[in-house]
Structure 1
Amino acid sequence: MRPDEIAEVLNHPTSQQLLARDITRLAYTATDGTPRVVPIGFVWNGTEIVMCTATNAPKLPALRHNPAVALTIDTEVHPPLILLIRGRAELDVVDGIPDEYMQANGTYQMTPEQRVEWEAEVRSIYDGMVRVVVTPTWANLIDFETTLPSAVEELMRRRDERQRA
């Protein structure tokens, strides 16, 4: 996809709504060659999806070996809203807790006291993290009203051709 086509998909109001959520599903290929999908918190910074993980996370060797990833951000209602993104994961090891980690987890309902306790616990566990940064190279929005999965569109086209014949 061309950058302007990706931007058009990601700038759509429904995509922006989905990019404001806090959980995505990250798909990648494990080092044994089998597929993996993991839910992970994320932040959209306007050009990149940023996810943060522990420095000893099993996904990191796999992403170093094969950085190709796919992301799904969706809703739990019917019909679902679905944003599909593909890209390459860039890994950035950082000391301390990245701002994006705190931001991604800032959507959870906590009292101010709970938030202070949670942050203290996080800081006691992690002395560093890895930022997993994905710049979209492909994107597709499916809302089941104006856009459908390509296979469904194809079936509808075939049905319409049969009905015209």
Structure 2
Amino acid sequence: MGAGHAAVLLCELLPVLRRRASFMASSQTAEDAVQSACVKLLNNSAALVRHPNPQAYALRAVATAVYDLRRRQGRETAVAELPDAPVDDCAIELCEADWEAARLLSLLSPGQAHAVRLVDIEGHSIDRAAEILGVHRGTVSRARDRGLRRLRGEISFGGCHTGATARAFT
């Protein structure tokens, strides 16, 4: 009785979950909520299988997912009309630099990525980064050095990976 049993159980409960979600939200939001709830339930399949009433547990997960999606949608700001040109000339470049930095950090081990992010991107000192991560400053320094070495090997200065990202790691 593990993840396989939970997957079978969720397949049986899926029509009930979709019906409940459709009562609570629009069709697209309901589908998103059911998918989000199923992912969460499968990630914690042991709790679903052990629960005395798995259907009630799954329905509560769907209700929570609907509330989360509504709250997230409530924070979104509607824009009447998109401008033809960006208001700030470097806004697109900054966004692309953030994406490229995230892509490059995903190539590193978690420790290296945290060290590089905290010290080189967020501007913390090595001591402060060590305090945040709960490790010795030497561990942060070593992880940062190894991460920067790996990033320098990944960046191609003549290609499309130039600009703010390249300058940040040189």
TM-score, with structure 2 as normaliser: 0.23
Computing the radius of gyration over CA atoms, which structure comes out larger, 1 or 2?
Answer: 2
TM-score, with structure 1 as normaliser: 0.24
Structure with more contact order per residue of length (Cα contacts < 8 Å, sep ≥ 6): 1
